[in-house]
Structure 1
Amino acid sequence: MILRSTKWAIALSVSFLMAGMDSARAEAIKAYTAALPPYTIAPDLEMPGISHEILEEMSKRSGVTIEIEYLPWKRAQSMAQKTPNALLFTAARTESRETVYKWIAEFIVADEVFATTTEAVNSLEDARQLSRIATLGGAPREKRLAKLEFGNVQSTPDTATAARLLTGGRVDAWFTLSQRVLHAVKSEGLDPSTIVIGTPVGSLRLWLASNAEFDPEVAAKLAQAFEDMKADGSYEAIVSAYLN
């Protein structure tokens, strides 16, 4: 009788241990981001952003539970770096970040362009001759022009303001990402056919990244889900919904 009770107790303990392990596996993975339209806009929207929708679909297909959290961008990066089981999106893959994160899937390539409503501006030197160029305040493109000592930059607080300045003729160009200007114009109910996109003067490869200690098996599941989306056209459908 004592032996049976002992065996039962051991079996029950093992059962609880396994249940705890299963629960731990099922815990949601945190995915940190910031408001970076059109890639990430805001949670709880019908159209929360290109990358936001892509990651949600990857979660469904892979069976990996993901909880998306919006934070200021610097804090989002910090949280991803110090949380072992965490993701970061949409992050530009740069030399300085290469070993800081693991890189799971390249979500989109974003060209840096000068958008105008007149003739195309195809180089930094051509842009230097303009009277006024809109940039997003604090964005890498504003910092780039400042480093090059451009004296014709007008800082704007958000994409909607920049789009209105451009289409209203109050700036000569907007230095931004190609997808960003097209989405902003569309969102403001303006005519995208009036926008002239110049030759790219740079490009960013925007990725789903992870903490350096992220589980490689989970990363592989997510990467495969992304490849499946590209193969069946669902990836392109998401991107097109924001830009066309």
Structure 2
Amino acid sequence: MPRETAAVMPKLMKAATSSLLVLMLSAMGSAALAAERLYIFTEHYPPYNASVSGKGFAHNEDDITGICSDMVKAALSRVGYDYVMKMRAWSYAYDWVQGRENHGLFCTARTEERENLFQWVGPLASIKWTLFAAPDSDITLDSLEDAKELQIAGYKGDVMSEYLVNQGFNVAKGMSGDVNTRRLMLGQADLWVTDGLVGPLVAEQEHGITGLKPVLVFRETPMYLALSKNTDPAIVADLQRALDDARAAGELDAIEARYE
């Protein structure tokens, strides 16, 4: 081997080793960033969560708005985690998030039945569990028990619908709540169970129907960002601190005021 070549070889080996080390560190850094990425899901449930397009799905945060959506964004803006926010059907997202690391779902009603299924960040807003009748209905209720013999429209995975089913009520569950106003108007259901704000808003925006009759409010629950049990508790704690800071700064009150 010529002396010139022998002299150059150690330098080439050193450079190759350095390049390999840089690639390895870069790969490790990319893996770390990927591990800290959060995958946040929601549903079309105005005014709490809504797609800008009005459709029941969205692929990024810029296409998602609403009271809870803006609150979650306010918290996420205060932490350094990369995240993806998507809108999907509730039943799909609810099942998808559970068991997956760094996955979350909002606005999720925090109930005893769900308490041990998630880690919780909140509260965000609260929902009023309301039974609505069609504008021309003469149904009146003094108590929830009075609705026992009536057909109630709900949807799969909805906390209010599931509660009524478990209590022995007659609930017809679709894949989403968007069509339930029409079911009332067509006489396919006597009542519709939904939130007190959501019902009239969806009825008017989706179907041009006004005058829904709220016949009974039977419960109220807080809503949260629900994170999977597989998510690092340190991430959950970071998000809770960020939400608390946003609330202390008046951001959450300002968000609610924008939707009044």
TM-score between the two structures when normalised by the length of structure 2: 0.66
Equivalent position of 2:243 in the other structure: 226
1:181 pairs with 2:199: yes
1:95-244 mapped onto 2 (5 Å cutoff): 95-115=112-132, 121=141, 123-127=143-147, 135-138=153-156, 139-145=158-164, 148=167, 159=177, 161-163=179-181, 174-185=192-203, 187=205, 197=214, 200-242=217-259, 244=260
Separation of aligned partners in 2, 1:185 and 1:13: 61
Shift of residue 10 of structure 1?
5.5
Closer/same/farther in 2, CA of residues 157 and 23 from structure 1, 3 Å limit: closer
Q: List alignment gaps of at least 5 residues for structure 1.
A: none
For the residue of structure 2 that corresponds to 1:90, the secondary structure is strand
Shift of residue 201 of structure 1?
1.4
Equivalent position of 1:83 in the other structure: 100
Residues 109, 159 of structure 2: 8 Å contact kept: no
Match among 84, 104, 107 for residue 67 of structure 1: 84
For the residue of structure 2 that corresponds to 1:228, the secondary structure is helix
For the residue of structure 2 that corresponds to 1:62, the secondary structure is coil
Equivalent position of 2:27 in the other structure: 20
1:39 pairs with 2:57: no
Closer/same/farther in 2, CA of residues 160 and 219 from structure 1, 3 Å limit: closer
Shift of residue 67 of structure 1?
0.6
Q: List alignment gaps of at least 5 residues for structure 2.
A: 1-6, 51-56
TM-score between the two structures when normalised by the length of structure 1: 0.70
Residue type of the alignment partner of 2:116: T
Residue type of the alignment partner of 1:210: L
Shift of residue 52 of structure 1?
2.9
Amino-acid identity (%)? 23
Aligned residues: 237
Separation of aligned partners in 2, 1:159 and 1:100: 23
For the residue of structure 2 that corresponds to 1:106, the secondary structure is coil
Separation of aligned partners in 2, 1:156 and 1:76: 15
For the residue of structure 1 that corresponds to 2:81, the secondary structure is coil
Residue type of the alignment partner of 2:229: A
Residues 247, 253 of structure 2: 8 Å contact kept: yes
- Which is higher, the Rg of structure 1 or of structure 2? 2
- RMSD between aligned alpha carbons? 4.0
Closer/same/farther in 2, CA of residues 75 and 126 from structure 1, 3 Å limit: closer
For the residue of structure 1 that corresponds to 2:122, the secondary structure is strand
For the residue of structure 1 that corresponds to 2:58, the secondary structure is coil
Match among 56, 73, 83 for residue 73 of structure 2: 56
